[in-house]
Amino acid sequence: MTTDLLKKIAETNEWWGIAPELLLGCSALALLALEIVLPKKDHRFIPHFAIATQATVFVLLLAGFYSGYEGASTFGGLLQHSFLGHVGRVFFLLSSLLVCFLAGICLPRSKMPRVEFYHIVMVVTAAMMLLVQSNHFVMFFVALETLTIGFYVLVSYYRDRPLTLEAGLKYLVMGALSSGIMLFGIVLLYGAVGKVTIGGVAHTGFEFNVVADFLRQNPDSFLGIAGALLVLAGVAFKIGAFPFQIWIPDVYQGAPTPTTAFLAVASKAAGFAVLLTLTGTVFAPLQHILVPVLSLLAAATIIFGNLSALTQRNTKRLMGLSGVSHAGYLLLGVVASFTVEWAAAAVWFYLFTYLLASMAVFGVMAYTAGSDDADQELEHYEHLAKNRPFLAAVLAAGVGSLAGIPPLAGFMGKLLLFVAAFQAHLYWLLVVAVGGVVVSIYYYFGWIKAAFFEPVTVGTASADQSASAVPTWVGKLVLGVLALATVLLGFYPGPLTHWLPFK
């Protein structure tokens, strides 16, 4: 019986279904091998190999090469392939490509090794792509910890800088705490479910569908409820939701700018992809508990993020705390997804608009930063429009989209989430979200004011800009495409809404 079961499990090992992740992992190892084999003068070409590999996989994913397994469960139930999982893979690869672009700007200013950075980025990206398809708590936890450990290294990559080491230590401590909380929740769920036999086959409390069936039959189980809440608390750390956001300002400021962008966009998206999976399938029977809990979490996150960002002058801390408020808006969509079928697609639409705007802003930050990219104050952007009009225009498009100003893409993203919340009758939460948007305009346009209207402050911006980089034609092309996509997606969101599963 055991032999037959193992054969059946082996028959579900569809390696072509995870070919993108395998290709990224093998290419990441190839980067290290190339660093050993190639002479030092040729090491500058290794990042190009990393970018080319990711671009190839990205194009193949867009072309639908690996989408034939949608709806299938593979590797003995460890993975569940779906269209939203395919969307997540495309999202993470695009994020990774843009992070590597930012790394090409920032890493040459430091004396740290470069190849290892691209290696870790590719491994973390592969882990995210597996995470969004996970269907088993063991797979879920291993993939999540793989990307978390990668971020431990990326956050503290500039190990010769005190702020970076402080950021790395804080992220390590808080990450370990959240992992412990999440693992405790998984153990409680396993203990509550135990082992069950279905059709003569033994199943455990690690399988998503088994846990969902148990909670459906026992919606008042204390262990089940406690385990679910602890797992969601661990996920809340990844997305930066209140009260698990305390690490964000210091980590965002101290981490290298490419890592900050990776955390702000890809890590947040991975958290919400997992959250949608958990609330939509595994914990769906606990809707009567999760709706009020997540609603309070969303409201507190929106309020805290916006009020905390009001007094920030450091741009990286400002992006971090404003990102907390964006997590609150996205939680609005997660709560709505319990009753509104297309709310999950609205969350992904918002994440794509957030990616375009955030990467555009971080690109400007990468080019305007001096030798220490942790020291980026609003004063450093004074007269940016006069001295570097292209960067100022990109900054205006990105910041305006983050603020939700029409007709930019960020406005459409917020509008879709708000409509979903309205259809879900989350009226009080909608009032909090609209109030948060109004407050955010103040601090976002403080940045625009510094770039376009503020008079030069003697002894601040001029001293710091000496080490700033001049955009190459590739840099101008990438930033221009990001800004243009932000504008066009606001006027015509059709291509993205038609691709995502809106119904």
Residues 298-354 have pLDDT tens digits of 999 999 999 988 888 888 889 889 999 999 999 999 999 888 888 888 999 999 999
What is the spatial distance between Cα 446 and Cα 465, in angstroms, rounded to a whole number?
20
CA distances from 23 to 19, 50, 94, 188 (A): 6, 11, 16, 36
Are residues 429 and 392 part of one domain?
yes
Are residues 353 and 239 part of one domain?
no
What is the spatial distance between Cα 480 and Cα 208, in angstroms, rounded to a whole number?
43
At residue 328, the pLDDT reads 92
Residues 354-396 have pLDDT tens digits of 999 999 999 998 888 766 776 788 888 888 888 888 888 999 9
**Closest to 113 in 3D by CA, of 146, 158, 52:** 158
Residues of the chain with pLDDT under 70: 1-13, 65-69, 71, 195-205, 370-371, 374, 454-469, 502-503
Is residue 1 domain-resident?
no
At residue 455, the pLDDT reads 63
Is residue 294 domain-resident?
no
At residue 461, the pLDDT reads 45
Alpha-helical (H) ranges within 205-342 are 208-217, 222-239, 248-254, 257-262, 268-277, 287-309, 315-336
Burial of 183 (0-12, 13-18, 19+ CB in 10 A): middle
At residue 68, the pLDDT reads 64
Residue identified by tokens 């004011």 is 449
Tokens for 120?
Answer: 């870790």
At residue 280, the pLDDT reads 85
Residue 39: asked if its preceding bond is cis (omega within 30°), the reply is no
Are residues 321 and 391 part of one domain?
yes
Is residue 6 domain-resident?
no
What is the spatial distance between Cα 406 and Cα 412, in angstroms, rounded to a whole number?
8
Residues 29-55 have pLDDT tens digits of 988 888 888 888 777 888 888 899 999
Residue identified by tokens 């400021």 is 253
Report strand pairing: 201-204 vs 73-74: unpaired
Structural domain ending residue among the three candidates 215, 249, 282: 282
Are residues 342 and 396 part of one domain?
yes
Are residues 321 and 172 part of one domain?
no
Report strand pairing: 201-204 vs 79-80: unpaired
Are residues 170 and 28 part of one domain?
yes
Three-state SS sequence of 65-82:
CCCCCCCCEECCCCEECC
What is the spatial distance between Cα 283 and Cα 216, in angstroms, rounded to a whole number?
9
376, 369 contact by CB (below 8 A):
yes
Domain total for the chain?
2
At residue 476, the pLDDT reads 86
State CA 352 to chain mean position distance.
10
Are residues 388 and 322 part of one domain?
yes
CA distances from 205 to 7, 72, 140, 186, 380 (A): 22, 21, 13, 9, 54
State the angle between helix axes of 137-155 and 115-131 in degrees (0 to 180), rounded to the nearest 10. Answer: 160
CA angle 256–258–264, rounded 5-degree value: 100
At residue 202, the pLDDT reads 56
What is the spatial distance between Cα 282 and Cα 213, in angstroms, rounded to a whole number?
8
Are residues 407 and 354 part of one domain?
yes
Q: Which domain holds residue 197?
A: 13-282
Number of residues that make up the chain: 503
At residue 360, the pLDDT reads 92
Structural domain ending residue among the three candidates 230, 255, 282: 282
> Which segments within 105-215 are labelled E, that is strand?
195-198, 201-204
Cα dihedral sign, 450-451-452-457? positive
Are residues 315 and 274 part of one domain?
no
At residue 123, the pLDDT reads 92
Are residues 267 and 309 part of one domain?
no
**Closest to 121 in 3D by CA, of 259, 254, 23, 271:** 259
Tokens for 372?
Answer: 């220490």
Is residue 408 domain-resident?
yes
At residue 460, the pLDDT reads 45
Is residue 134 domain-resident?
yes
89, 129 contact by CB (below 8 A):
yes
Cα dihedral sign, 48-53-54-59? positive
Burial of 423 (0-12, 13-18, 19+ CB in 10 A): middle
Are residues 314 and 274 part of one domain?
no
148, 278 contact by CB (below 8 A):
no
Structural domain ending residue among the three candidates 247, 282, 317: 282
Are residues 221 and 73 part of one domain?
yes
Name 188's Cβ contacts closer than 8 Å, sequence gap at least 6. Answer: 223, 224, 226, 227, 230
184, 230 contact by CB (below 8 A):
yes
At residue 105, the pLDDT reads 84
